[in-house]
Chain A
Amino acid sequence: MSKPYTLNELLIITCAKEIEDYQNVILGVGLPTTAGALAKALFAPHATLMMESGIIDFEPLVPLHHIADAHSCRGFSYATDLFTAFTMTYRGFVDVCFLGVGQIDKFGNLNTTCIGDYDHPQLRLPGSGGAADFISYAKKTVLTLRGGQFVEKLDYFTSPGYLDGGDSRDRSGLFPQGSGPSMLLTTKGVFRFDDQTKEMYLAQIHPGVRLEDVRKQIPWELKVSPELTVTSRPTDAEIDFVRRFAPAESLGREAATELAIAHAVDRAQARGKNGKD
């Protein structure tokens, strides 16, 4: 039996397994950057990791703060610009990209723009950033959903998944044939997209999660793979890597922020400051 793991570690490690050796990988903000570092360190040593700001072929040494983080590595191989990073994707040189999800529908179309009315939103999310461009042209896209939601209809259609399902994405003529989201990772399981209908189905369920917990989040009748598997348990090497590389991510944002603030206050007080605003 390997050592106990946190949910975030399981997610990062599951995500990392979508990267194969020798692939060109665009890393998005958050969880994927650590997944990329893990993949590069443990099973895809020849992968070329890229940031859309134009930082190409870097070896992450600390977790990325954002997608223009040259401080996370010790140099890199090619300094280009954002325009070229995207046209590189447009031309088919990007194998995998990772995107976070605000809302998602059953065909893997995404909203990262707003919840509610566009002009008077309940939540104004960040917007497309590179998302709509990357999911359009990367050979495959890995989606991660932690705080987001499954919806029948997106409040705003930011990024194209499989459009209306079936062959509608390929038929549109707008995208490379066969491109699109390959999986959706949530805190409950892994979803994939049916070859024919392109509707998402549950392919893996995380250890200890019940099927009804998954269904509860989904407003349509969720299809479940007849070969539903349980997400494989991380190995000690994988857990150790993530915990050493990004302990704050292992802990999760909430716990890490709380501990970081406590530590900052302690330090300030030790120097005779009160550590308050």
Chain B
Amino acid sequence: MAHPNDNKVMSAKEAVARFVQDGDALIIGNYTVGTCAELVFEICRQGRKHFTLYSQSGILDVDVLINAGCVDRLVTTYVMRSGGKKGGGAVERALQAGTLAMEDYTNFNYNARLMAGMHGFTFMPVLEGVMATDLFRKRGFMGDDKYRVIPCPYTGKQVLTVPAANPDVCIVHVQRADRHGNAQYWGAMGSVAAAALCSKRIIVSCEELVEHDVIQSSPHFTIIPAFRVDAVVQIPWGAHPTEVLGYYNQDSFFYGLFRQANTTADGAQAWMDEWVYGCPDREAYRDRYAARFGTGMMDKLRAKAFYSAPANYGAAFTSVWDETGRNRLLGLTLEEIEQKMAERGLLHE
């Protein structure tokens, strides 16, 4: 297990090389916003294969991984479709080509699998409405283990359950983290914490690397504690073209370019060649973006400040000794206390 106070800061290249393997169950921690785009791109560049991919809601991230041929099986509830009816997307193309197996859940029932995994339970009761639907009836690669039904021991009612998910590795982008791995995230909580905490290994990318002091004075923002994290990668603009609250808005123009390209296999390949394979890292990606579209485009997306009110984590004192060197409770100095110990026969030689 990762050590809590080691310095876990490394490059995306090193983090993926060390902690993401072929055949892994890989989970995208982010939900709908602020996805871990650069970690996804790096996984594509390193050519990882045969993932079982978990994503609560597939956006650019899922499509890019499938375009890159990294994914054999997909567990999800929703995948973005590029370009409406006449468009398409990587998932559709892969299903048509027979290279992708898929398992469809609802948002709640998928999230429940992560919650079960996070808390160490082997299964979780879930919302049973889907029993009337093909979500329940149609079984993919999970077969009988997609859903099972048991009687409630208290009421006898038939209860729908899902199995726990404990993916091998979670990739997740957050606003800030310290070098030990404490990861802070705010905004749409989605299923971000559960996705990370149900996983065996965790790679965190962050907009900002902050001193441990910052974390200590705002522990309510921490969603992943240091001792669970394997790697911390600082990647400014690491979620672009998706948005990160407090840092930048969605780049709708650039996202639109991706969607347009992603409607065809050739278009997607050209986009991947330019923006994923053509850029060794996020800095190169930003350089290319600036060269193509100018720096002003990204600058306009930078968030203006709207700080949360500070919360006071302070106490009346942080020492049992007062300003005059007397113990607050006993009113005595250390020497006087030692004298009392001696008088009372409490001291052993």
Contact = CB atoms under 8 A, between A and B. Distances in A.
Interface of A: 1, 4-7, 10, 22, 24, 45-46, 48, 55-57, 61-63, 70-72, 74-80, 83-84, 87, 90-91, 93, 207-208, 243-248, 250-252, 255-256, 259-260, 263, 266-267
Contacts of B327: 247-248
A263 B328 CA distance: 10
A21 to B, nearest CB: 9
A243 B337 contact: yes
Interface in B332-347: 332, 334, 337-338, 340-342, 344, 346-347
A76 B214 CA distance: 10
B85 interface: no
A69 B332 CA distance: 24
A57 B222 CA distance: 11
Contact of B182 (A70, A77, A90): A77
Nearest to B216: A75
Chain A facing B: main interface SS:
mixed
Contact of A7 (B226, B329, B348): B348
Contact of A247 (B217, B222, B227, B320): B320
Contacts of B318: 61-62, 74
B346 to A, nearest CB: 5
B47 interface: no
A260 B347 contact: no
B82 to A, nearest CB: 38
Contact of B227 (A24, A55, A245): A24
Given A4-B349, A55-B219, A263-B330, 19 more contacts: A4-B348, A22-B4, A45-B5, A46-B3, A46-B4, A56-B225, A57-B227, A61-B319, A75-B215, A75-B313, A77-B215, A77-B216, A77-B219, A78-B225, A87-B119, A243-B337, A245-B320, A248-B327, A260-B330
A234 B336 CA distance: 21
Contact of A75 (B1, B3, B219, B338): B219
Nearest to A79: B219
B37 to A, nearest CB: 26
Interface string B202-223: 0000000000110111111010
Interface string B32-73: 000000000000000000000000000000000000000000
B347 A247 contact: no
Contacts of B257: none
Given A62-B318, A207-B348, A246-B320, A78 B219 contact: yes
A72 B316 CA distance: 10
B340 A259 contact: yes
Contacts of A61: 318-319
17 contacts: A4-B349, A46-B4, A46-B6, A63-B320, A75-B219, A76-B216, A78-B219, A79-B220, A84-B118, A91-B119, A243-B334, A245-B320, A247-B334, A248-B320, A251-B340, A255-B341, A260-B329
A95 to B, nearest CB: 10
Max chain A Cβ within 10 angstroms of own Cβ: one of B120, B212, B218, B330: B330
B306 interface: no
Contacts of B227: 24, 48, 57, 93
Instruction: Tell me if B's interface is mostly helix, strand, loop or mixed.
Output: loop
A99 B197 CA distance: 27
B317 interface: yes
Nearest to A80: B225
B132 interface: no
B348 A5 contact: yes
Interface of B: 1, 3-6, 118-121, 180, 182, 212-213, 215-220, 222, 224-228, 313-321, 327, 329-332, 334, 337-338, 340-342, 344, 346-349
Contacts of B228: 93
B222 A79 contact: yes
Nearest to B224: A78
Contacts of A247: 320, 327, 330, 334, 337
A57 B4 contact: yes
Contacts of B212: 77
Contact of A77 (B225, B320, B341, B344): B225
Contact of B329 (A6, A77, A248): A248
A255 B346 contact: yes
A263 B320 contact: no
Contacts of B332: 259, 263
Contacts of A246: 320
Given A6-B346, A77-B215, A263 B331 contact: yes
Contacts of B313: 70, 74-75
B340 A10 contact: no
Nearest to A72: B315
A77 B222 contact: yes
Nearest to B338: A243
Nearest to A243: B334
A260 B320 CA distance: 13
Find the residue from A56, A77, A80, A267 having the highest chain B CB count within 10 A: A77
> Among the interface residues B119, B225, B313, which one has the most CB atoms of the partner chain A within 10 A?
B225
A6 B345 CA distance: 9
Given A247-B320, A251-B340, A6 B347 contact: yes
Contact of B120 (A71, A78, A91, A263): A91
B329 to A, nearest CB: 5
Contacts of B120: 87, 90-91
